[in-house]
Structure 1
Amino acid sequence: MFSALVLDDTPGEVQAQVRRLHPDDLPEAESEEVHLEVLYSSLNYKDGLAVTGSGQVIRGDYPIVPGIDLVGRVLDTAHDEFEEGDCVIGTGWQLGEVDWGGYSQEARVSGRKLVPLPDGLSPPQAMIAGTAGFTAMLSVMALEEHGVSPGGGEVLVTGASGGAGSIAVALLGALGHEVVASTGSEGAHAYLRSLGATRIVHRRAFEEGPSRPVESGEWAGAIDAVGGDTLATLIAQLKRHGSVASFGNAGGHELRTTVLPFILRGVNLLGIDSNTCPNDRRRTAWNRLTDLLSDAHFDRIHARTIALDDIPAASRALLAGEVQGRILVDVQRDE
């Protein structure tokens, strides 16, 4: 028997409860199944929405185990790439949304949805990063592939005190960029500077949208976790041939802009999809993240460690904006 956080959809309410399960209770994976002892998971904004029933994250059948991230040790495998005892990472591919996810001490996952844990990255560090760190690394890679390099000008990160934003600041800083962090949290300034931000700008400078279709060129590149009018402002303020990597919609999913920044300055809007990112690129991203982030980075980014029982309360705190950094879930810790 093992423990898992299970969501049930009762009339008008999603209920989350830690239950004892048997391995036979786990749904079978769609193909090339890998049976895992899950070591750690993490708490992402999407997880908070799922656990509290605040958003339409769950697209599978109830009951379901949420958790869009996991790192685990292989107990048994039908996938040729892995052997018993290997440590692997699972993020995206509808884990914790359609398929049972990482808030469980055991899991069955298709081997095609897993990548090896890189050498030099511990299981807890993998989940301190989690989807947030993976998304941040994909964003940095996209900027690099479109000519954004250290010394080329300031790179802006919006939503910088959040999980993905703070890791983006750390990655860009480690690469030698001049990093400008945008946040509405006055208490996050010292934290962001410790990660590599050279200056801080309040989020209200961007959230009203641009005053003109093309404004003064400020940014060589940007990583945007907000969307909406903030993203529209960034597009108008990019320098010639600058790029913005976009992965969030906390500020809205609509984008009001014009073609002028694209045809007059040749700027690039780069969409970042961490959910269905191909595995070859996943491996590259995880290996680069391992190389760029030091133990000190992970210590700064790590907010706290919780057990399965703590997830509902921590989810509410995360959605209320009360969390700075990343929450690690030790799924093997029984309280």
Structure 2
Amino acid sequence: MSNDKTFKALVVEEDSEGNFSKSIQERQVSELPDNDLLIEVHYSSLNYKDAMSASGNKMITKNFPHTPGIDAAGVVISDKSGTFSEGQKVVIFGYDLGMDTPGGLGQMISIPADWAVACPDALTLEEAMIYGTGGITAALSIQKLEKMGAKPADGPVAVSGATGGVGSISIAILSQLGYDVIAFSGKTEQTEHLKELGATEVRHRDSVNDVGKRPVGRELWANAIDTVGGEYLANLLKQTKAGGAVTSCGLAASAEFAMTVLPFITRGVSLLGIDSVYIPLEDKKTIWNRVATDMKLPNLESYGEEITLEQTPEYLDRFMAGKTVGRYVVNVKG
């Protein structure tokens, strides 16, 4: 493909006064990094990290102008490494994509070949992006609980940030696998939606904090998936049954939490970190195969709202305002 070929991309720019703006612009392939794998992106998805990058968060993206998009699904245009063949369907999430490497909210990306995995035959590119980083993080969380011995008979699994991308897919997969789910959300108007996803019970997010300053509370759930951090994570841990575990994958509430060690040393509760960015490539292949098989959701299209590339500035602002529900799939190719 000629390096002077143009493509559309969301571009975030910083002005001389430190203000940031978002717009859809024409870019050239020659402006992309000189990596082995050139991909035509068909679909991406929106994540909280994309919204932080698009708002100018220098902890996520250091250099501007920049194209966010930590997820991408598309077809191979060329691969100098010989790993993939022309026209092969691939998916990418994690590593530096969409952080300081131009990401999936552009119609073309250039990345190292070892950032990509073949898209499972059982998934279309669009379905892969309904999962995206949010769905894969949910699947990784459930898989890690399983490795700790979790099973439906143990009791319910609590899920915080239930209407978010990770939370909503966690509920759906857990329900499909036979678990009872207690969903915590501040969006009480979404109660019926959460029950449709598979939640057995829906509670206001702040009720998890009723335990207050006590070092431990009553044992209310067997395991939990936390997507928000802060005191919510601490209080999920305090109310987890003996021998249970809580996974941690988000920080929308806070990156810090304070508590005693009592849940760990008196109940044997475990805190499990979930990394979906830098996990080994083989582990990424394994979890993609699971979401294409035993974790594949029926009527998958119902779990994501499809939007256009031109709509992404508006929807990224919604993320920062806390006004999003579920997964957003971006039809990048148009």
TM-score, with normalisation over the residues of structure 1?
A: 0.94
**One-letter amino acid of the counterpart of residue 275, structure 2:** D
Which of 257, 260, 263 matches 1:258?
260
Partner of 1:48: 51
Secondary structure of residue in 2 paired with 1:293? coil
**Residues 191/122 of structure 1: CA separation in 2 closer, same or farther (3 Å cut):** same
Q: Does 1:169 align with 2:171?
A: yes
> C-alpha displacement at 1:212, in angstroms?
1.6
> C-alpha displacement at 1:193, in angstroms?
1.1
Partner of 1:87: 89
**Residues 224/58 of structure 1: CA separation in 2 closer, same or farther (3 Å cut):** closer
Tell me if the contact between 2:130 and 2:301 (Cα under 8 Å) persists in the aligned partners: no
**One-letter amino acid of the counterpart of residue 40, structure 1:** Y
Partner of 1:157: 159
> C-alpha displacement at 1:106, in angstroms?
1.0
Query: Which stretch of the first structure deviates more once superposed, 67-76 or 17-26?
Result: 17-26
Q: Does 1:20 align with 2:20?
A: no
What per-residue deviation string (whole Å, max 9, x for no partner) do you get for residues 187-207 of structure 1? 211111111111111111124
| Cα distance in 2 for residues equivalent to 1:154 and 1:295 | 22
> C-alpha displacement at 1:209, in angstroms?
5.8
What per-residue deviation string (whole Å, max 9, x for no partner) do you get for residues 65-110 of structure 1? 1111100100100234311111111111021111111111111111
RMSD across aligned positions (CA): 1.4
Tell me if the contact between 2:45 and 2:132 (Cα under 8 Å) persists in the aligned partners: yes
Instruction: Point out where structure 1 has 5 or more consecutive residues left out of the alignment.
Output: none
Partner of 2:328: 327
Q: Does 1:7 align with 2:12?
A: yes
**One-letter amino acid of the counterpart of residue 143, structure 1:** L
> C-alpha displacement at 1:247, in angstroms?
0.6
Partner of 2:318: 317
**One-letter amino acid of the counterpart of residue 198, structure 1:** T
Partner of 2:240: 238
Tell me if the contact between 1:225 and 1:246 (Cα under 8 Å) persists in the aligned partners: yes
**Residues 88/57 of structure 1: CA separation in 2 closer, same or farther (3 Å cut):** farther
Quote the sequence identity (%). Answer: 39
TM-score, with normalisation over the residues of structure 2?
A: 0.94
Tell me if the contact between 1:60 and 1:99 (Cα under 8 Å) persists in the aligned partners: no
Q: How many residues align?
A: 327
Equivalent residue runs for 1:1-335 within 5 Å: 1-11=6-16, 12-29=18-35, 33-53=36-56, 55-207=57-209, 210-291=212-293, 292-296=295-299, 298-302=300-304, 304-333=305-334
| Cα distance in 2 for residues equivalent to 1:270 and 1:86 | 35
Secondary structure of residue in 2 paired with 1:159? coil
Instruction: Point out where structure 2 has 5 or more consecutive residues left out of the alignment.
Output: 1-5
